[in-house]
Structure 1
């Protein structure tokens, strides 16, 4: 199975009624694309992608390869077949200041990069977010964005945090058409990155 024939932009909307980091993914028409749940109380990140909020069908699994996440990578697997789509790898020291990830295919070959567009947005979000009352409004005016580029340097996707309380909404746009399997690889990587970056503030 691949995530294809999607009507962009896609909306990622986190639920604030659960302790877990759950979020819905819908297309521009409001139709479900997936429901993402991160398992709680795990030393390693363990994320399941379901068909929708009913959680009646598990589509994909994303698992960290180590419990210390400094240089962690995350395997992307289709549940029905056990097929490995590839993995997303954090870029270690470079990710401290500015989010940076590599996306690798099933043969462990680099295919894409995810880069945070402006590190200063994160910096000021972290500072202002600690100020009582004022910090609650940072989700309305400090919103980072991320760009997915290919090895050819072309920009393929753009993910933006949208104005909202508690950083609840993100929007994903595709800039260039790509192969269905590569599209699924990128989207699954961005799901995991969104969870990681949202947790970092």
Structure 2
């Protein structure tokens, strides 16, 4: 099962009732697309994408290839078939200032780039977020956006952090059509990136 034929935009909504970084993905009509759970207390990130909140069926696994490290990458695998959709690679030290990731195919060739649009939003979010009480409300007015571009420079997807308490909502929109495998690889990469960037604040 690939992540295709979806009704965009997709909403990512984090649950605040669990200790784990769990979130639901629904389409524009409110229909379930997937349920994402990041395993807790792991030295390497391990994320499972389920069919829905019942967690009755594992669809995909996203696993880090090494311990916490600036150059970690994350394999994207379909559970039922073992098929690899490639991996997400974090762009090292550059990500400290402005989030930047590469989406690589099964042959380790770069196919897409995910970049944060405005680094100043992260900067001010980090500063204001440290202020007691006020920091809880930064999710309403400091909301970064991320663009997924192909190696041809064309923008394919846009991910936005939506105004919400504790920054718990994101919205993903597809800007142009894309083939099925690439679409699955990009969506899985954005799931992992959202977990990583949200954890950083």
Question: Under TM normalisation by the shorter chain, which class is it?
Answer: over 0.9
Count of aligned positions: 201
The CA distance in 2 between the partners of 1:124 and 1:10, in whole Å, is: 27
Aligned residue for 1:19?
A: 19
Aligned residue for 2:181?
A: 181
How far apart are residue 132 of structure 1 and its match? 1.1
The CA distance in 1 between the partners of 2:69 and 2:184, in whole Å, is: 23
Scaled by the length of structure 2, the TM-score of the pair is: 0.99
**Higher deviation after alignment, 63-72 or 14-23:** 63-72
Structure 1: 5+ residue stretches without partners: none
Offset from partner CA, 1:146-201 (integer Å, 9 cap, x none) = 00000000000000000000010000000000001100000000000000000000
Offset from partner CA, 1:62-108 (integer Å, 9 cap, x none) = 00000123100000000001111100000001101000000001111
The CA distance in 2 between the partners of 1:77 and 1:196, in whole Å, is: 18
Matched residue SS, 1:160? strand
Matched residue SS, 2:157? strand
Q: Residues 79-90 of structure 1 correspond to what in structure 2 (within 5 A)? A: 79-90=79-90
